[in-house]
Structure 1
Amino acid sequence: MENKLKKSLIAYLFILPAMIFLVIFVFYPIVASIPLAFYNYSVLGQSKYVGWANFTRALHDHVFWISVENSLLFVGVVPPLQVLSIILAILVNRKIRGISFFRALYYIPVVTSMVAVSITWGWIFDPQGLLNSFMISHGIFSKPISFLNDPRFALLSLMFITLWQGLGYYMMIYLAGLQSIPKELEESAYVDGATKTQVLFRITIPLLKPYIWLCTFMSVLSAVRVFDVVYVLTNGGPGNATMVTSLYSFQKAFTNFDFGYSSAIGLLVAILTTTLSILVFMYGGRKGGMSYY
């Protein structure tokens, strides 16, 4: 008993530095922002209690609803991202020479700063950039398209960038899931005459369901909270075509210094993400095997 207690104490000591960091820089700001949402906060003057006025203002704010719509549209990245990640994981789950190099190569975008990634893709999407030059030279486009300045393409371009960067991250999770599947199951299926397609859809994919729903949950949260790529490349423009909730809250706080209203927006977005999380967990628990965790 004493040995077990000692091991638990050592484990908590290892966790303690990270917990202190989270309490100071994550949990405390979240808790402190809740009462702020009920005030007309002034940095220099006196703050005034306004009750639910900030929330009422948000519900009647046209730009806020545009940002909510765009954030929800970003969730549209999730299905193709998960499908492509699974395909990529299956492709790199092979014992061939140099496969570790390709696994590392696909993972590089994940560990690369999103700011650097955004700037690079900004050059690619530029009217004089690589993509337009390639399309025009091959006769696909007749004239350059300003992807990031055209309301028709701006949001789709940002969604593509987030999809591209997230592939390697979810690929590694699915790769771990694939390698945890007992090989005996697949070998038995092949002995019984099953084809590779049948093994994939009747054995591999069903056993990956816990990983699929876990990754879906994480990617939904990431999609709703997207900020950096939008801030770097479009700052919510053109017009409000790419305005998302995280950026709108940031602008209200640090551009307009309307901290109370920004906190109210943050709380409303927190309710939205919590609702989406509950829905994913409920469905995943019933259909996706997330109860395994």
Structure 2
Amino acid sequence: MTTTPRRRSRREEHRLGGTGAKVTLRNTLIAYAFMIPFLVLLVMFHTWPVFFGTFLAFTKYNIISPPQWVGLDNFRGLLQDEQFWSGLRNSLKYILIVPVIQVISILVALLVNRPLKGIAFFRTAYYVPAITSFAVVGLIWNWMYQQGGPVNAVLSTLGLMTEDRGLLNNPATALLAVMFVTLWKGIGYYMVLYLAGLQNISQELDDAATIDGATRWQVFWNVTIPGLRPTILVCSLLSTISAIKVFEEIYVMTQGGPAGSTYSALFYTYSKAFQDFQYGMAAAAGLIIAVISIFFGLINFRITRGGKIDG
């Protein structure tokens, strides 16, 4: 006569390891010992700066004197500062590249996902701008955008430019020129993420839809896009936050000029902190940028349905 082994309770399973060995205090301490270095770095370089920066947003601080509590005075000052509003408007304009860069990245990912000869070279070529230092990228594009440069020559040939003038020196075109560089540099990065997402979609779903008579467009819209929804959420979130916090491109290429046409909200924060030494005002501006980023992040969750794949 055989007896059925007693099934362990959840408490027992939690107390026992994967091999049935009892989890001892020593094993627990060893696990936390491995976590401590990361937790220390996390607190030092993430958690503490967030809390201290939030505190500084309500103070007057110039790094020499101790912080002085001023309440909402910094935020009132920002509301009356036209330079801050100009930078915030430019940062919000930058969000326009988010849908463009996502659509192009998906199309490029579909292109390089095919098993064609030499496709590894094209994947590498598309990804190279993403890993190139922006100092190098800025120098190259500054030269290409200058008066008499290659970009002006192409635009003149196409009849899109009547006056040979540096695009970064023209307030009407400077922001668009910088946005294009961001678009060009970011496509490869998001392409890799979408390529990984495409390769996680079962080929059987595409084959079943094709057998049922679906066209290539119907397969793309009803199978590929729903399967990519989690990746779309991640990429759109990253792209939106990067657009709102645009700084590196502005700092390297234009320094906010000409005439403030490329002045961004984060560049305003940098100027207040490291040029004017008004750290309280800079922290308040950074807090506003963070709130705006969270707001647009929630919009991305809403549009992509939280990244859930249709069942």
Check conservation: 1:84, 1:167, Cα contact below 8 A: yes
Greater per-residue helix proportion? 1
**Larger deviation: 29-38 or 128-137?**
128-137
List aligned pairs for 1:176-255, cutoff 5 A. 176-255=196-275
Q: Does residue 79 of structure 2 align to residue 59 of structure 1?
A: yes
Alignment-mate amino acid for residue 266 of structure 1: G
Check conservation: 1:281, 1:290, Cα contact below 8 A: no
For the residue of structure 2 that corresponds to 1:167, the secondary structure is helix
Distance 1:189 1:110 in 2: 35
Alignment match of 1:36 (pick from 56, 61, 64): 56
Deviations 1:33-57, CA, capped at 9 Å, x for gaps: 1221222213334543222111110
For the residue of structure 2 that corresponds to 1:208, the secondary structure is helix
Change (3 A) 1:10 1:143: farther
Deviations 1:55-85, CA, capped at 9 Å, x for gaps: 1101111111111111111110001101000
Q: Percent identity?
A: 40
Change (3 A) 1:242 1:209: same
The corresponding residue for 1:155 is: 175
Q: Cα offset for 1:132?
A: 1.7
**Larger deviation: 135-144 or 180-189?**
135-144
**Larger deviation: 196-205 or 177-186?**
196-205
Deviations 1:213-253, CA, capped at 9 Å, x for gaps: 22111111111111000011111111121111110000001
Gaps of 5+ in 2: 1-15
Gaps of 5+ in 1: none
Alignment match of 1:119 (pick from 124, 132, 139): 139
Alignment-mate amino acid for residue 219 of structure 1: S
The corresponding residue for 1:102 is: 122
For the residue of structure 2 that corresponds to 1:189, the secondary structure is helix
The corresponding residue for 1:81 is: 101
For the residue of structure 1 that corresponds to 2:89, the secondary structure is helix
For the residue of structure 2 that corresponds to 1:215, the secondary structure is helix
**Larger deviation: 27-36 or 219-228?**
27-36
The corresponding residue for 2:8 is: none
RMSD over equivalenced CA pairs, Å? 2.5
Alignment match of 2:308 (pick from 278, 289, 293): 289
Deviations 1:11-49, CA, capped at 9 Å, x for gaps: 776665444333322332222112212222133345432
Deviations 1:238-288, CA, capped at 9 Å, x for gaps: 1121111110000001011111111111111111111211222234336x5
**Larger deviation: 131-140 or 149-158?**
131-140
Q: Cα offset for 1:201?
A: 1.8
Distance 2:31 2:142 in 1: 44
Distance 2:66 2:41 in 1: 31
Distance 2:94 2:203 in 1: 37
For the residue of structure 1 that corresponds to 2:95, the secondary structure is helix
- TM-score by length of structure 1 reads 0.90
**Larger deviation: 113-122 or 275-284?**
275-284
Q: Does residue 294 of structure 2 align to residue 278 of structure 1?
A: no
For the residue of structure 1 that corresponds to 2:258, the secondary structure is coil
List aligned pairs for 1:10-21, cutoff 5 A. 17-21=37-41
Check conservation: 2:56, 2:67, Cα contact below 8 A: no
Greater Rg over alpha carbons, structure: 2
Deviations 1:90-113, CA, capped at 9 Å, x for gaps: 000011121112111111111111
Distance 1:221 1:234 in 2: 21
Distance 1:99 1:11 in 2: 43
Change (3 A) 1:82 1:8: farther
Q: Number of residues paired by the alignment?
A: 291
For the residue of structure 1 that corresponds to 2:64, the secondary structure is coil
Check conservation: 2:227, 2:309, Cα contact below 8 A: no
**Larger deviation: 64-73 or 9-18?**
9-18
Check conservation: 1:214, 1:290, Cα contact below 8 A: no
- TM-score by length of structure 2 reads 0.85
Check conservation: 1:285, 1:291, Cα contact below 8 A: no
For the residue of structure 2 that corresponds to 1:201, the secondary structure is helix
